Amino acid sequence: MNDVSPQAVKDYLLDLQDRICAELESEDGQGRFEEDAWDRAEGGGGRSRVLTEGAVIEKGGVNFSHVFGERMPPSATAHRPELAGRSFQAMGVSLVIHPHNPYVPTSHANVRFFVAEKEGEAPVWWFGGGFDLTPFYGFEEDAVAWHRAARDACAPFGDDLYAEFKRWCDDYFYIKHRDEPRGVGGLFFDDFNRLDFEHSFALMRSIGDGFIGAYRPIMARRKALPYGQRERDFQLYRRGRYVEFNLVYDRGTLFGLQSGGRTESILMSLPPLVRWDYDWRPEPGSPEAELHEKFLIHREWL
């Protein structure tokens, strides 16, 4: 299967969205995803699924999109100027989960496929994606389990891929103007086509399938822990960092907006409640300080 098959990728992504939504609903125990199917005037569409005010999930979105057009948007050609002027297809599943309980980390995952075409030339294609974890109160057990799942997803495709994709994730999800990581990382990869189509697609599937097996046990362990207003306030403060990254640096957000994507779906990743406190600093020795000292650092977890 060395021929490029966008339809095979699309079929997988639609099934992945279904499976992740079912798993999250089961762990939440109360909330249900509402689907909003949409069309894009320039070509394509998608289905956005959002769960709000569940028992565990305050707001979660699991989106599928498949868009196409005659010209690649600037965010996609910034690193690949030779693709300017090509037609394109872009498809993917992207999700963000914002739990109620500050002890349950926020999580993000994305898997995607691009193909750019020009008459008389071979198509140029690549895969991208990954998953990352953003705790508010850190648990070493969770971070180690998360990275073990990330390593296992990459292992069949090369001994060096986990280390490479972990470094890429650490570098990518870094809030430069705050000089701090967004969370404890995980995997990030983009423009991936070094293997043939069949094996590159298999890698993307392994990472996509690995997300829920990594995240659901963490959600289950932490969702019933008691918390108060102090923990909730800190969660809302740290969510501000999440918003800053997504609006300033995230390539998926920029691509969606520049390609005329559906704004509601693109900004689905933002939390429902957030706060910014001027020059706030955690009390030394506090659990809030521990997050910065032990978890929001570049670290080898395995």
Q: Which residues are catalytic?
A: 108
User: Was 147 annotated as part of a binding site?
Assistant: yes
Q: 57: helix, coil or strand?
A: strand
User: Was 262 annotated as part of a binding site?
Assistant: yes
User: Was 110 annotated as part of a binding site?
Assistant: yes
Within 10 angstroms of residue 275's Cβ, the number of other Cβ atoms is 14
* Nearest-angstrom CA–CA distance, 194 and 153: 17
* Nearest-angstrom CA–CA distance, 62 and 30: 17
User: Was 177 annotated as part of a binding site?
Assistant: yes
Element (H, E) at 248: helix 229-248
Question: In the numeric block, which tokens belong to residue 287?
Answer: 């659990």
User: Was 31 annotated as part of a binding site?
Assistant: no
Is there a contact between 110 and 130 (Cβ–Cβ < 8 Å)? yes
**Own/partner pairs for 82-85, CB < 8 Å, 24+ apart?**
83/116, 83/124, 85/118
* Nearest-angstrom CA–CA distance, 290 and 176: 21
Question: In the numeric block, which tokens belong to residue 188?
Answer: 């990030």
User: Was 186 annotated as part of a binding site?
Assistant: no
Interacting residues of 152 by C-beta distance below 8 A, sequence separation 6+: 210
Given its phi and psi angles, is residue 286 left (phi above 0), alpha (psi -120 to 50 degrees) or beta?
beta
User: Was 66 annotated as part of a binding site?
Assistant: no
* Nearest-angstrom CA–CA distance, 41 and 39: 6
Give strand ranges (E) for the chain. 34-39, 44-52, 57-69, 87-99, 106-117, 124-134, 174-175, 180-181, 185-192
Which residues sit in the known binding site?
94, 98, 108, 110-112, 147, 177, 260-262
Which residues sit in the known binding site for a divalent metal cation?
98, 108, 147, 177
Which residues sit in the known binding site for substrate?
94, 110-112, 260-262
